[in-house]
Amino acid sequence: MRIVSLLAVTAAMAVAAPAHAQNFSSTPAQFTSLGAQFTSQYDIVTLGTVSGTYTVPQSYNIYNVSFEVGVNANSAATTSGTLSNSITVDSTLYNFLIPYTIAISSSDTITFNPFTATFGNYNFAFNLLSLTSDGSSIAQGVLTANISAVPEPAAWAMMLIGFGGIGFAMRRRKVVRTSVSYA
Q: pLDDT tens, 26-73?
A: 888 888 767 655 545 577 888 888 887 777 677 888 888 888 876 655
Percent of the chain with pLDDT over 90: 5
Name which of 143, 151, 152 is nearest 125 in CA terms. Answer: 143
Q: Angle formed by the axes of helices 2-15 and 153-171, to 10°?
A: 160
Instruction: State the pTM of this model.
Output: 0.66
Prior bond to 57 cis, omega within 30? Answer: yes
Separation of alpha carbons 135 and 70, rounded Å: 7
Long-range Cβ contacts of 31-37 (<8 Å, 24+ apart): 31/83, 34/79, 34/81, 34/100, 34/102, 34/110, 35/70, 35/73, 35/79, 35/102, 35/104, 35/108, 37/79
Separation of alpha carbons 130 and 99, rounded Å: 12
Alpha helices (H) along the chain: 2-15, 153-171
Name which of 73, 126, 124 is nearest 102 in CA terms. Answer: 73
Q: What is the DSSP letter of 6?
A: H
Name which of 81, 109, 110 is nearest 97 in CA terms. Answer: 81
For the cut 70, the answer to whether the pLDDT of residue 15 exceeds it is no
pLDDT tens sequence across 16-39 = 444 566 788 888 888 876 765 554
Separation of alpha carbons 135 and 52, rounded Å: 32
Q: What is the DSSP letter of 71?
A: S
